[in-house]
Structure 1
């Protein structure tokens, strides 16, 4: 991330641009939005079709492309092989679970998507099955999906995930009883519990409620994209995404 170098720039504008197009130099240098999306599409298709499909000698790439689009459309959502299979079957694409699993692994190994496993905080064990996927470059979301199909909060969550990785954290999706914690971030003995939201709805306590019964002694943070949310909820600091990125 480059936000720490932007003391004399407009961080809000830069954040908006970054969420839309991310930071490939060949994209940033383009002079208009359509050119930026065209370059991003070229990079995305090169990775997907040349690197992923090429290495695995996949001749019919339709299923691979549809799975990748599914991951982009469901950024930050719990994803299972069965969910993907049912979505493909609803479009008359009958694909085995083994094929889907193999393609997900190919997308992960090509560093197009990161797979984030679930971790049971109480039992201290990884959970098999569902996990979350985050794309390596936020610009791929905008270049491949129509704006109406893009969840802005999911892009904020994706950005926080990428920033945590860049800071050297190992990241999991947390589960504690029936509550979900967006991120459990660990670096040696430094452990953080993090909830991410585009904004906190009025009178909503979801973000803080999910923290209520977590083990004490570790930092708990709510990250928002709304300046009006910044402050403190039940003793838990609520910080703006820009402050998170720059401090």
Structure 2
């Protein structure tokens, strides 16, 4: 397994705290691997295997566990009142009513709980009500460029770094893609792209018109770094012979963000000190997926670089807006705690 020391340290630092740890991120970013790394850490530090409950709900034998009652039945067979237990539940979002089960386990048992999911909606609604103040999100992303270099055993000071960055900008940082031979990288990316669109967007959002959904994704991917809004997207696609209402596009944008495929940066007026109710910028989670979504067109490298910078700032824990100062634009206003960074790309 590929080590993800930063994320693992985050989990270890939160170990045994009275908080449910929720690992979120786009599919295939490494959530399941991180959970297994944490399990290995627990075993290596004296936690008995019998006191670790590990369930991956995408495993063959667990795919039929879809209801609250079925989840309770599975856990009831292994939960104990006289032992501290570590409960690791992978891709739990497809189980209806899982929030109530997790809340009940927190209240009734001495346990440390870590769960993963590929949809942002799992952090809202009933979970937010039941576990208010008692959960912490750990977002995970595909490899950063630094992680990419480590995975490829490339010295950051070597002369091959420039070539490595070109590969990173082309194929992105999904772990499976990074470690694959170049001949199959696009096949793997296409599989990830289709799975996210079909399982995490279309199926979850009951979207029947996959063609329209892909057209919106293609527009966003092709216009990375540009200010866009639903009306603009609708008008552009209409000119290309595809009629999609702004309301439908707004719904698609929400579903794509929930699946962690895109992130939206709002526009902030520095003089007026307020967010503008206008367009925003959308950034795709991975440069490799962006290329697949645009039918492998290279596109504008400056905009690609802006996308990579945005994702890196997200990875480092910043909240990011697009700045407006009179007629000028600041690429990013990045905030974390009391720190504020004003970022403009050099390319």
TM-score range relative to shorter protein: 0.7 to 0.9
1:134 aligned residue: 283
**2:226 aligns to what?**
77
Query: Could you say which structure has the higher strand fraction?
Result: 1
Find the aligned partners of 2:218 and 2:200 in 1 and give their Cα distance: 17
2:325 aligned to which of 176, 190, 194: 176
For 1:3, the equivalent position in structure 2 comes to 146
Report what 2:263 is aligned to. Answer: 114
CA distance in 1, matches of 2:297, 2:197: 23
Aligned ranges for residues 202-217 of structure 1 at < 5 Å? Answer: none
Distance 1:57 1:117 in 2: 27
How far apart, CA to CA, are the structure 2 residues paired with 1:80 and 1:59? 22
Q: State the match for 2:67 in structure 1.
A: none
Tell me if 1:25 matches 2:178. no
* Structure 2 residue aligned with 1:56: 205
User: SS at 1:173's partner residue?
Assistant: strand
Cα pair distance change 1:197/1:185, threshold 3 Å: same
Which residue pairs with 1:209 in the alignment?
none
TM-score by length of 2: 0.54
Structure 2: give runs of 5+ residues left out of the alignment: 1-143
Q: Which runs of 4+ in 1 moved over 6 A?
A: none
* Mapped pair 1:14 → 2:164: yes
Aligned to 1:203: none
Tell me if the contact between 1:118 and 1:173 (Cα under 8 Å) persists in the aligned partners: yes
- Looking at structure 1, the residues matched to 344 and 202 of structure 2 have their Cα atoms a distance apart, in angstroms, of 35
Over residues 112-165 of structure 1, what are the superposed CA-to-partner deviations in whole Å (9 max), with x where a residue is unaligned? 000110001111111112000000011012223255551111111011111111
Query: What CA distance in whole angstroms lies between the structure 2 residues aligned with 1:156 and 1:122?
Result: 27
User: Deviation per CA, 1:186-228, whole angstroms, max 9, x where unpaired?
Assistant: 1122111111142xxxxxxxxxxxxxxxxxxxxxxxxxxxxxx
* Counterpart position of 1:151: 300
Q: TM-score, normalised by structure 1?
A: 0.75
Q: CA distance change for structure 1 residues 61 and 27 in 2, over 3 Å: closer, same or farther?
A: same
Q: Please report how far the alpha carbon of residue 91 of structure 1 lies from its aligned counterpart in structure 2 after TM superposition.
A: 2.4
Structure 1 CA distance, aligned partners of 2:156 and 2:180?
A: 23
* 1:26-83 Cα shifts (integer Å, max 9, x gaps): 1122212x41111101101110122100001112211111000000000001111111
CA RMSD of aligned residues (A): 1.6
Pairing 1:189–2:332 present: no
Q: Distance in 1 between matches of 2:310 and 2:240?
A: 31
- Cα separation, 1, equivalents of 2:270 and 2:222: 28
Does residue 162 (structure 1) correspond to residue 305 (structure 2)? The answer is no
Q: How many angstroms does 1:2 deviate by? A: 4.5
Q: 2:169–2:287: 8 Å Cα contact kept in structure 1?
A: yes
- 1:134 aligns to what SS in structure 2? strand
**Could you tell me how far apart the structure 1 residues matched to 2:269 and 2:288 are?**
32
Task: Count how many residue pairs are aligned between Structure 1 and Structure 2.
Answer: 197
